[in-house]
């Protein structure tokens, strides 16, 4: 202390440090302490190489589990779609309108097209209602919608692929039919192929799409919920196709024998399942083809639907009576 006084006497006589300078020095000391503690923490957090390897292995196994889980979910979804396609059915009131020239009498035409227009309005209202029910929020934009766009193109592609596979009839073609057709149709097509003489096959060609610009066109589009023991929701579309086709018979060596060309009008029915819980839908599949609906067909179907409704209502009444008796 004495030495300090002799060499630098002004230190003892100097005034106190300004507050700003004191704060600056304090901040430097605090920063130094933080840096020291940071280095100490870094040193303390250095991991042993074996521990780091175990963490890396754990993360990799977790990633593999997530990938396996997503794959399992995809397989479950595909199996569910297959099960739903197994019970695929034609939606009620699927109408293929006749041209006016095939209906006799103006009054019959009026009644016939009144039924058709009423059913079209019902289908559109039902699709709008189903879309509204699947909205995540009441006033939010509906992310899952039954869009008409792309249905005609899908029908053309599936129809051409089905016709090609059916004509050729090989093992790969049979497997492909199982992917693009509902099971009931696929089994009938494979059975038709199996009845051919051994080595016999055909070659199918689409020569021309006719009736443009009005054909091909979407004729019927539905989104239906049906209770068949379990609740089933599906979309259905009917696409009319006018075309000129060529079918060539091939021998066992693959050489062409004879061919014939046909002008064909077909009404192709597409079917796809809808998962209301996850807001997803399966791929379009071919359900089959339909003929045009006559006025007698409409009357018979309406009577059958009314009869089925009466039976279901009576069954519910009987179940309620049995429940009351048990209680």
For every residue of 222-237, DSSP letters joined together read: EEEEEESSSEEEEEEE
pLDDT band at 259 (very low <50, low <70, confident <90, very high): very high
The answer to whether residue 64 sits within a structural domain is no
In the block, residue with structure tokens 């054909």? 215
Ramachandran angles phi, psi of 258, nearest 5°: -150, 155
* SS3 (DSSP) at 143: coil
If you average pLDDT over residues 200-215, what whole number do you get? 94
State how far Cα 77 lies from the chain centre. 10
The answer to whether residue 29 sits within a structural domain is no
Residues making up the chain, counted from first to last: 327
Q: What is the pLDDT of residue 145?
A: 85
Report the share of the chain in percent with pLDDT over 70. Answer: 73
Where do runs of H (alpha helix) occur along the chain? 2-7, 10-13, 19-44, 49-86, 106-133, 151-168, 171-180, 183-194, 295-326
The answer to whether residue 310 sits within a structural domain is no
pLDDT band at 19 (very low <50, low <70, confident <90, very high): very low
Q: What is the pLDDT of residue 138?
A: 75
d(CA 22, CA 36): 21
If you average pLDDT over residues 320-327, what whole number do you get? 86
- Residue partners of 246: CB distance under 8 A and separation at least 6: 204, 205, 207, 259, 260, 261, 262
If you average pLDDT over residues 174-189, what whole number do you get? 96
* SS3 (DSSP) at 93: coil
**pLDDT tops 50 at residue 198:** yes
The answer to whether residue 17 sits within a structural domain is no
Q: What is the pLDDT of residue 1?
A: 41
pLDDT digits over 40-73, tens only?
444 444 556 766 676 667 666 666 555 444 544 5
**pLDDT tops 60 at residue 254:** yes
**pLDDT tops 80 at residue 80:** no
For the record, the structure tokens of 227 come out as 């209770």
User: Which segments within 210-301 are labelled E, that is strand?
Assistant: 217-227, 231-250, 256-275, 280-281, 285-290
pLDDT digits over 101-115, tens only?
999 999 999 999 999
CB 268 within 8 A of CB 289: yes
d(CA 127, CA 144): 11
**pLDDT tops 60 at residue 16:** no
Q: What is the pLDDT of residue 51?
A: 62
**pLDDT tops 90 at residue 151:** yes
The answer to whether residue 312 sits within a structural domain is no
If you average pLDDT over residues 206-218, what whole number do you get? 95
CB 123 within 8 A of CB 320: no
Q: What is the pLDDT of residue 48?
A: 64
Report the share of the chain in percent with pLDDT over 90. Answer: 55
Number of structural domains in the chain:
1
N-terminal to C-terminal alpha carbon distance within the chain: 105
Q: What is the pLDDT of residue 24?
A: 38
The answer to whether residue 303 sits within a structural domain is no
Higher-confidence residue of 278 and 264: namely: 264
Q: 231-250 and 256-275 as β-strands: parallel, antiparallel, unpaired?
A: antiparallel
Q: How does the average pLDDT of the chain come out, rounded?
A: 81
**pLDDT tops 60 at residue 13:** no
The answer to whether residue 8 sits within a structural domain is no
**Which of 75, 87, 78 has the alpha carbon at shortest distance from 287?**
87
Q: What is the pLDDT of residue 2?
A: 40
Boundaries of domain holding 121: 79-297
**CATH code (residue 162):** 3.10.450.240
If you average pLDDT over residues 142-165, what whole number do you get? 93
d(CA 313, CA 45): 73
If you average pLDDT over residues 198-213, what whole number do you get? 93
For the record, the structure tokens of 232 come out as 């089933």
The answer to whether residue 124 sits within a structural domain is yes
Specify the DSSP element, H or E, that contains 201: strand 201-209
If you average pLDDT over residues 163-182, what whole number do you get? 95
């Amino acid at each position: 202390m004495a030495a300090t006084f002799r060499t630098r006497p002004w230190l003892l006589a100097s005034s106190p440090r300004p507050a700003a300078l004191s704060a600056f020095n304090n901040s430097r000391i605090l920063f130094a302490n933080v840096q020291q503690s940071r280095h100490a923490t870094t040193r303390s957090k250095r991991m042993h190489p074996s521990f780091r390897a175990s963490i890396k292995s754990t993360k990799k196994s977790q990633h593999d589990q997530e990938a396996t889980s997503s794959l399992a979910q995809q397989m479950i979804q595909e199996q569910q779609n297959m099960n739903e396609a197994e019970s695929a059915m034609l939606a009620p009131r699927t109408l293929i309108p006749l041209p006016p020239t095939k209906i006799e009498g103006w009054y019959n035409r009026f009644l016939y097209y009144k039924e058709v227009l009423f059913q079209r309005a019902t289908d559109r209202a039902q699709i709008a209602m189903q879309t509204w029910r699947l909205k995540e929020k009441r006033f939010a934009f509906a992310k899952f919608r039954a869009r008409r766009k792309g249905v005609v193109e899908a029908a053309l592609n599936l129809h051409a692929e089905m016709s090609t596979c059916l004509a050729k009839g090989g093992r790969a073609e049979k497997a492909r039919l199982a992917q693009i057709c509902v099971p009931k149709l696929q089994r009938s097509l494979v059975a038709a192929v199996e009845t051919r003489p051994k080595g016999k096959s055909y070659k199918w060609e689409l020569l021309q799409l006719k009736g443009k610009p009005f054909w091909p066109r979407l004729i019927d589009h539905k989104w239906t919920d049906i209770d068949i023991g379990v609740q089933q929701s599906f979309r259905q579309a009917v696409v009319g196709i006018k075309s000129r086709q060529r079918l060539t018979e091939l021998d066992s060596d693959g050489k062409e024998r004879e061919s014939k060309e046909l002008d064909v009008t077909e009404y192709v029915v597409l079917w796809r399942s809808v998962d209301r819980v996850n807001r997803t839908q399966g791929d379009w599949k071919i359900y089959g083809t339909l003929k045009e609906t006559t006025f007698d067909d409409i009357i018979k179907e309406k009577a059958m639907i009314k009869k089925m409704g009466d039976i279901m209502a009576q069954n519910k009444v009987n179940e309620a009576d049995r429940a009351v008796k048990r209680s």
